Amino acid sequence: MRPIERRIDAYLSEHLDRYLEETARLCAQPSVSARGEGMVECAQLVGRMLEAHGLAVRIFPTPGAPIVYGHADGISPRTLLFYNHYDVQPPEPLELWSSPPFEPTLRDGALYARGACDDKGELVARLAALDAVREAHRGSLPCGVTFVVEGEEEIGSPHVVSFVQEHLDLLRAQGAIWEGGGIDPEGRPVLTLGVRGVLSVELSVQTLTRDAHSGAAHRLPNAAWRLVWALASLKGPDERVRIPGFYEGALPPSPLDEELLEALPDYEELERQIYGVREFVRGLRGKELNRAVFEPTCNIAGLTAGYQGPGMKTVLPARAAAKVDFRLVPGQDPNDVLVKLSAHLQREGFGDVSVQCLGAMWPAKTAADAPFVALAARTGAEVYGRPALLVPLEGGSTPIYAFAGPLGDLPVVFAGVGYWDNRAHAPDEHVRLQDWLNGARHIARILEGFAAL
Q: Binders of its own copies among 326-365, rule CB under 8 A?
A: 327, 349, 352, 358-359
Helix (H, G, I), strand (E, B), or coil: what is residue 217? coil
Q: Which is nearer to its own copies, 51 or 307 (CB)?
A: 307
Residues 337 and 247 sit within 8 Å (Cβ to Cβ): no
Q: Which is nearer to its own copies, 44 or 233 (CB)?
A: 233
Helix (H, G, I), strand (E, B), or coil: what is residue 71? strand
Helix (H) or strand (E) holding 321: strand 319-328
DSSP 85-147: E--B-----GGG-SS-TTS-EEETTEEESTTTTTTHHHHHHHHHHHHHHHHHTTT--SSEEEE
| Binding letters toward its own copies, positions 273-292, x by CB under 8 A | --xxxxxxx--x----x--x
Shortest spacing between CB 234 and its own copies, in angstroms: 9
User: Which span sits near its own copies by CB under 8 A: 128-136, 243-251, 369-377, 395-403?
Assistant: 395-403
Q: Is 448 in the site for its own copies (CB under 8 A)?
A: no
Q: Rounded to an integer, what distance in angstroms lies between the CA atom of residue 170 and that of residue 384?
A: 33
DSSP 380-396: HHHHHSSPPEEES-BSS
Q: Rounded to an integer, what distance in angstroms lies between the CA atom of residue 427 and that of residue 429?
A: 6
User: Which span sits near its own copies by CB under 8 A: 97-105, 244-252, 316-324, 430-438?
Assistant: 316-324
The correct pick among 125, 141, 148, 320 for binding its own copies (CB under 8 A) is: 320
Q: Is 394 in the site for its own copies (CB under 8 A)?
A: yes
Shortest spacing between CB 312 and its own copies, in angstroms: 4
Q: Is 207 in the site for its own copies (CB under 8 A)?
A: yes
The correct pick among 161, 170, 208, 451 for binding its own copies (CB under 8 A) is: 208
Residues 69 and 57 sit within 8 Å (Cβ to Cβ): yes
Shortest spacing between CB 409 and its own copies, in angstroms: 24
Q: Rounded to an integer, what distance in angstroms lies between the CA atom of residue 105 and that of residue 100?
A: 8
Shortest spacing between CB 393 and its own copies, in angstroms: 10
The correct pick among 142, 197, 317, 416 for binding its own copies (CB under 8 A) is: 317
Shortest spacing between CB 195 and its own copies, in angstroms: 9
Q: Is 156 in the site for its own copies (CB under 8 A)?
A: yes
User: Which span sits near its own copies by CB under 8 A: 77-85, 309-317, 399-407, 409-417?
Assistant: 309-317
Helix (H, G, I), strand (E, B), or coil: what is residue 242? coil
Within 13 Å and on the Cβ side, how many CA atoms surround 408?
7
User: Which span sits near its own copies by CB under 8 A: 7-15, 38-46, 195-203, 412-420?
Assistant: 195-203
Q: Is 200 in the site for its own copies (CB under 8 A)?
A: yes
Q: Rounded to an integer, what distance in angstroms lies between the CA atom of residue 26 and that of residue 263?
A: 38
- Interface residues for its own copies in 83-142 (CB under 8 A)? none
Q: Which is nearer to its own copies, 43 or 321 (CB)?
A: 321
327 Rama class: left (phi>0) / alpha (psi -120 to 50) / beta: beta
Shortest spacing between CB 418 and its own copies, in angstroms: 14
Total residues interacting with its own copies, rule: CB under 8 A: 77
Q: Is 209 in the site for its own copies (CB under 8 A)?
A: yes
- Interface residues for its own copies in 237-276 (CB under 8 A)? 237, 271, 275-276
Contacts of 3 (CB under 8 A, 6+ apart): none
The correct pick among 96, 300, 339, 343 for binding its own copies (CB under 8 A) is: 300
Q: Rounded to an integer, what distance in angstroms lies between the CA atom of residue 341 and that of residue 336?
A: 9
Q: Which is nearer to its own copies, 176 or 231 (CB)?
A: 231
Beta-carbon count within 10 A of 227 CB: 25
DSSP 210-230: S-EEGGGTTTSPPHHHHHHHH
